[in-house]
Amino acid sequence: MKRSRRLALRQRRQEISHAGGHIPAELMGDLRSHEKDDELDEIDIELELEMMYGQLEKVLDMVKDSPDSEPFLRPVSADVAPDYADIITKPMDLQTMESKLLEREYRNKFDFIEDMNNLLLNCLTYNGIDS
């Protein structure tokens, strides 16, 4: 049974049960243990996350393969930019993003996008718009 249908049936059964009503047989026919539904939901979520990570890895690889990516590959060192830590409060680089991907720290694509935007904003903040 599709996940959306399972969720809709579960929600309807909960509404009826909370209201103190009798759950009709047609809603009971698809009733499996809540544990089994929860397990399937967890599997669905894990599969979606793995697909997302595969997509994010492809995006990151494309960015890293860009000829202009070299300054962003590793964290900015104090040797290269001694005042960087004074100006940039939330540093980000492609190596850190790759590590976060491998450690499965991104819970959604928006977290990844936020880090990528932060990397670009840091570049503009430190180097100026004309760099």
Query: How distant, in Å, are the alpha carbons of 21, 38, 49 from that of 44?
Result: 31, 10, 9
Q: Where are the domains of the chain?
A: 32-127
> What is the predicted pLDDT for the residue at 54?
94
Determine the Cα–Cα distance for residues 113 and 118; give it in Å rounded to an integer: 8
List pLDDT tens digits, range 81-127. Answer: 999 999 999 999 999 999 999 999 999 999 999 999 999 999 999 99
* pTM, 2 dp: 0.68
What number does CATH give the domain 32-127? Answer: 1.20.920.10
Q: What is the spatial distance between Cα 62 and Cα 47, in angstroms, rounded to a whole number?
A: 23
